[in-house]
Structure formats: structure tokens, C-alpha cells
Amino acid sequence: MKKLLQKIRILIGNFLIDKNNRFDSSRYALNKILFLRQDGRIGDYVVSSFVFRELKKWNPNLKIGLVCTLENQYLFSQNEYIDQLYLVKKRSIKDYIRCGLMLRKENYDLIIDPTIFLRNRDLLLLRLINAKVNIGYQKEGYKLFNQNIPYSGQHFSQVYASALDKIGLKNIELQYDVPFNQQAATAISKFLKENHLQNYIAINFFGNSTVRKMHDKNIIAHLHRLTDNFPDKKFVLLSYPDINEKLINLVKTFDNVFVYPTTEIFHTIELIKYCQQLISVDTSTIHIASGFNKSIIGFYPNDEENFAHWRPMTHSPTHILFFDKTVNEIMPDKINLEWIIS
């Protein structure tokens, strides 16, 4: 019932809000470009991080703006290629209207919004901003988008590359720009030195959704298999504040398994930066590892389109295990020991 009501709301919103953009998208001067990333998470940002660099390389005078939220602002605030951030409250129609009317006065020439699923507030924001050109992904049925990128089994980085190609960029370099924080780098460097950690394997047992969270007993089983077969190898579990204490307690019986009490994503980035290999159920950390060209063992849902969009893009050896309903389906013996870098 909930999904049906949502579908009805979207249909009504499309009828009321989605109106033709009458601007001739084949003829315009591009001076200001806006990205809508109010729903963006760390993995989405890493995959698209190259676009800001490539745009400034193409035209250093181009103004790049970006809409985000207070919660994900930290991802973009240190990016030297983004000129202006605009904050919006993610679930507030009133604030979307405020933001849209403000941005309308900025006279942006072009918006890139590759979001697959658009809510009514997203459409309203687009219409209020009133850019000359709106480039979208899989937006064949939308009138507001006067340029569209169709689905062709491409990775999401290629979706962004296609948007840049429509603008006129060629020979685009897709290498990710992974965010950096000096304070976090210093803290992790100290942790690695104190524990004599080199050439370790980083493991992430927890993803963003319930289906990507591994049960405690399965974590223990995976660790036993890895440490029994590779007693001289060291392993670092990637964490976040809500599970720090649990993971620290889980690994107390393992001499060669370590947990850093992570308080921010930049700690995780640094731990991946210096690992030899990543084993992960979570695409965000997989994208970070791809940015550092690490070897990866990734757990993915058995969803062809999802995997096409978010697969690893590293040049190092990569192995993928698929699950149907939950990562807990993947037993330790499914990881081929020959995949482990020893």
C-alpha cells in the first residue's frame, strides 16, 4: 500500500510539475553548471568525483555549484574544484522552495542530475531553478529534462562521463579523487605504527542496509577461516561509531585482527588507503578502494543493473560473490583462499 501511494503521489507530481523546458539545448553558452547531490552518499561522491576536476581542466573559468545537505556537506566542502555549495533540508518541501527560488536568481546554464528515482520535491526544485539545460539519466519520460542519458549497462562513472561528453568534453580521465582529511590521516598513521600494521587486509562486514550487515556469528566464522589459513597476516576491521565497541569485543580472541575506533569516514578512507586488499559487503568502501586501485573481494546483491552501476573499477585483481537476500548467505568457504593476497 505504501509503495502504491508513493507511485500515485509521483504521478500527480509529474502531471503538475513536469513541464516542457522550451530552451534550445543545442545552442547555449556554458558559464555556470549546477549538480544536485542532496541524496548523495560517500560512494556516490567518489564515483563522480572526477567530474569537477575534468570540468575545471576543460574550462578553469567555469563556475561549479552543488546542492547538498548539512549531513553530506563534509564530502564536498574540501573539493577545490567546487566553487559554491548550497544547503537544502532533505525532506522539507518548504526549504526546497526556498533553495529553488534562490538558485533561480543565480541563472545557472546547466544542471546535471543523474538520480534515477525522482521525488516530487526533486522535480519542484528543478523547475524552480529554471536552468537552460537539464541533463538526466533514464529520464525519457520527463519533460523538464531536455537532454537524457539512456541506460546501456554502464557504470555510474560512465553516466557522468556521458553527461560531460554532451557538454563537449573529450578524453575524460575517470580516476576518482578520494576525499582527504589531514587530522584523520595523522590519527590512522599513528594507529598503524603502534600496531606494526603493513600489508594488512581491510575487511568491512557492514553495509548501509540491513541486507548488507553480517551477523556476529558469521563475522567470527569468516575471521577464523582467514586467521587459521593466514596466521602471519594481519586484518583490520572497518568500523563506524555505532559498532566500534561491538567489533572491538568480537576480535579480542584474535591476535592478528585489529579495530580502529572510527568516528568519521576519513578514518575509513585512510585505513583503505594503506591496506593491501579490501574484503567488503559495502559498495562505498569498494569505491574508495577502487580510487586507490586496491585488490578487492566484493559481496554484491544478485541484481544485474545494480552491479552494472556500482561494480568495482580498479585495475587490481577483483573477485565478486553474489547473494540473493542477505550477505549472510555467503559462507566463509565461498571466499577462495587463492584470492587472498598473502
- Tens digit of each residue's pLDDT (9 = 90 or more) over 275-297: 999 999 999 999 999 999 999 99
Residue with cell 578520494: 178
pLDDT at position 19: 54
Distance CA 28, CA 133 (A): 9
pLDDT at position 5: 43
pLDDT at position 6: 47
Mean pLDDT for the stretch of residues 128-145: 93
Mean pLDDT for the stretch of residues 240-261: 97
The CATH number fitting domain 10-167, selected from 3.30.1490.270, 3.40.50.2000, 3.40.50.300, 3.10.20.30: 3.40.50.2000
Backbone dihedral angles phi then psi of residue 286, each to the nearest 5 degrees = -65, -40
pLDDT at position 118: 87
Residue 8 has pLDDT above 50, yes or no: no
> What's the pLDDT band for 141 if we cut at 50, 70, 90?
confident
Q: What is the CATH number of domain 182-337?
A: 3.40.50.2000
Backbone dihedral angles phi then psi of residue 121, each to the nearest 5 degrees = -65, -30
User: pTM of the predicted model, to two decimals?
Assistant: 0.91
Q: Which residues face 134 on adjacent strands?
A: 111
Distance CA 340, CA 320 (A): 13
Instruction: Report residue 204 CA to chain centroid gap.
Output: 15
Contacts of 148 (CB under 8 A, 6+ apart): 135, 136, 137, 138, 139, 140, 142
Strand 147-149 to 201-204 pairing: unpaired
Task: Answer whether 10-167 and 182-337 agree in fold.
Answer: yes
Strand 257-259 to 235-237 pairing: parallel
Where are the chain's structural domains? 10-167, 182-337
Backbone dihedral angles phi then psi of residue 62, each to the nearest 5 degrees = -65, 130
Lowest mean pLDDT among 90-94, 97-101, 227-231: 90-94
- Looking at every residue in the chain, the average pLDDT score rounds to 92
pLDDT at position 10: 47
Neighbours of 24 (CB within 10 A): 10
Look at 90 and 189; give whichever has higher pLDDT: 189
